[in-house]
C-alpha cells in the first residue's frame, strides 16, 4: 500500500482482517503526524489530496495511548462529518500534566471528490488492540495501532 514517498514515516504490517500500522518519528509529535498520514493513506492516495483547507484539531486524554486513539478518532470523525480528506498534519502544541495529555494541531486537506480521490478502504474505527507507544534508545518514537476496516 505505501511506497517510497512514505519511507521512514510509516509502514503497513501484516494483519488478517484489519490494517496494522507502524508509524515513526524523531519526536512524539512527528510520530503522531505520521500516524495520521498513514490512516488517510489507508483511505485514499494522500498525494492527490491538496492541502488547501486548514482546520485546528485539539484532543485531550488521560494517557498517551488514549491520546493517540483520540487524535486519530477526531480526524476520522471530522473526515466523515465534513466530507474531508487530510494530507498534511502539524502538531503545534503538546502539553503533558500529571493527569492528562493534550495536543493541538493544524491539519490541511480538501473536500472528498469522487472523480479525483481514489477510495481504497473505509476506516470504520481506530482500536486500542495491539496499540504500542515506544521510545527507542536512539530517541525515535514508534507507534503501532490497528484500524478497523
DSSP classification of residue 118 = -
Residue 31 CA to residue 23 CA, distance in Å, equals: 6
**Is residue 37 within 8 Å of residue 25, measured between CB atoms?**
no
User: Considering the entire predicted model, what is its pTM?
Assistant: 0.89
Total domains, the chain: 1
Task: Give the residue numbers spanning the domain of 95.
Answer: 4-148
Residue 4's pLDDT is 60
Q: What is the mean pLDDT of residues 89-93?
A: 98
- CATH number for the domain harbouring residue 97: 3.55.10.10
Task: Check residues 38 and 13 and name the one with the higher pLDDT.
Answer: 38
**Is residue 93 within 8 Å of residue 57, measured between CB atoms?**
no
Taken as a whole, the chain contains a residue count of 149
C-alpha distances in angstroms, 142 versus 46, 58, 85, 95, 127? 21, 22, 24, 19, 17
Amino acid at each position: 500500500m505505501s511506497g517510497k514517498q512514505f519511507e521512514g514515516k510509516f509502514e503497513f504490517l501484516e494483519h488478517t482482517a484489519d490494517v496494522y500500522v507502524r508509524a515513526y518519528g524523531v519526536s512524539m509529535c512527528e510520530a503522531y503526524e505520521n500516524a495520521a498520514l498513514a490512516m488517510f493513506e489507508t483511505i485514499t492516495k494522500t498525494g492527490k489530496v491538496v492541502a488547501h483547507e486548514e482546520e485546528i484539531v485539539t484532543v485531550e486524554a488521560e494517557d498517551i495511548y488514549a491520546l493517540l486513539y483520540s487524535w486519530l478518532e477526531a480526524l476520522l470523525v471530522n473526515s466523515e462529518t465534513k466530507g474531508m480528506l487530510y494530507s498534511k498534519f502539524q502538531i503545534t502544541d503538546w502539553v503533558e500534566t500529571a493527569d492528562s495529555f493534550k495536543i493541538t494541531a493544524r491539519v490541511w486537506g480538501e473536500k472528498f471528490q469522487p472523480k479525483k480521490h481514489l477510495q481504497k478502504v473505509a476506516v470504520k474505527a481506530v482500536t486500542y488492540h495491539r496499540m504500542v507507544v515506544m521510545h527507542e534508545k536512539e530517541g525515535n518514537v514508534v507507534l503501532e495501532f490497528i484500524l478497523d476496516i
